Amino acid sequence: MIEIGKKQSLKIINFTSHGAFLDGKTGKMIDNILLPSKEIPDGAKEGDVVEVFIYRDSQDRLIATTREPIGKVGELVYLKVLEITDIGAFLDWGLEKDLFLPFAEQKFKVQVGRSYLVAIYVDKSGRLSATTDIDKYLENTSPYEKVDRVKGTVYRVDSEMGAFVAVDNKYKGLIHKSEYFHEIRNGDQIEARIVKIREDGKLDLSTRSEAYKQMHTDAEQILQRLQGGNGFLPLNDKSKPETIKNKLNMSKASFKRAIGALLKEDKIEQTDNGIKLKEEI
């Protein structure tokens, strides 16, 4: 049985001016599949078996190719959007016919030129398509431990929960909205730290370093802002969290740790109106 969207080994039945016809495994010549002339391996002859990938051409006919697509049915792949039309988007997956991403399968608005993590599936009409709804394709049991650094792709951003990440494009992860203070978009490929492994195996992630390491980075950022702002910053430990986030892209807890370190090092002083650099004597 021919499996669309997968590689398989098929026998060459005969040659024509258009290419070689491969055994469609039904016993009927009408079901044999064309391998275009430019795809035929050098020296191939009738009876030879060739390894091909089966998909549908622009006229919806089954066709074979010896080219290797970026992904196959059931796989998660990171693909670039080439075009958006009135029926959906088309993605580059390494074959002459681009992969279709229907509007109904876009859980967020995609943009031309950006890449996204999608799953490849066969739709009800037997055509290969892509979807950004990939939760069911991800696993919960990763080989990682707490504090490990991992890489992954953002596949859904939720304003209430945070950014959902496919770690290694395979395992379920989440960066809670309290664990990042910069813009994260669908399709972003990021590096993060595992802060917790839940009972169900899902990974809680953070783009920030461990507190004691992040504190030095945050302190340096505050010093740079002070030096670029005439030595004064209108923030202190009584400032509202949202004010601190808007000005520095960090949480109030991180800000307090950082200015605590700077106070201890005698580099700043805190006033009712904010913090300021100490003058060097």
pLDDT in tens, 235-256: 888 888 888 888 888 778 778 8
Q: Phi, psi at residue 178, to the nearest 5°?
A: -80, -5
pLDDT in tens, 55-94: 998 888 899 999 999 999 999 999 999 999 999 999 999 9
Predicted structure pTM score: 0.74
138-206 maps to CATH 2.40.50.140: yes
Q: What type of residue sits at position 273?
A: N
Residues pairing with 153 in the sheet:
166, 189
How confident is the model at residue 215, as a pLDDT?
A: 72
The CATH number of domain 7-65, selected from 2.40.50.140, 3.40.30.10, 2.30.29.30, 3.40.50.720: 2.40.50.140
How confident is the model at residue 217, as a pLDDT?
A: 76
**Cβ neighbours of residue 128 under 8 Å, at least 6 residues apart?**
4, 5, 55, 56, 73, 99, 100, 120, 121, 122
How confident is the model at residue 213, as a pLDDT?
A: 58
CA 105, CA 117: separation in Å to the nearest integer?
A: 12
User: What is the CATH code for 76-135?
Assistant: 2.40.50.140
Q: What type of residue sits at position 71?
A: G
In the chain, CATH 2.40.50.140 covers: 7-65, 76-135, 138-206
In the chain, CATH 1.10.10.10 covers: 211-277
CA 95, CA 70: separation in Å to the nearest integer?
A: 8
Below-50 pLDDT ranges, the chain: 211-212, 281
In the chain, how long is the greatest CA-to-CA distance?
94
The CATH number of domain 211-277, selected from 2.60.120.260, 1.20.120.50, 1.10.3720.10, 1.10.10.10: 1.10.10.10
How confident is the model at residue 248, as a pLDDT?
A: 85
CA 218, CA 80: separation in Å to the nearest integer?
A: 35
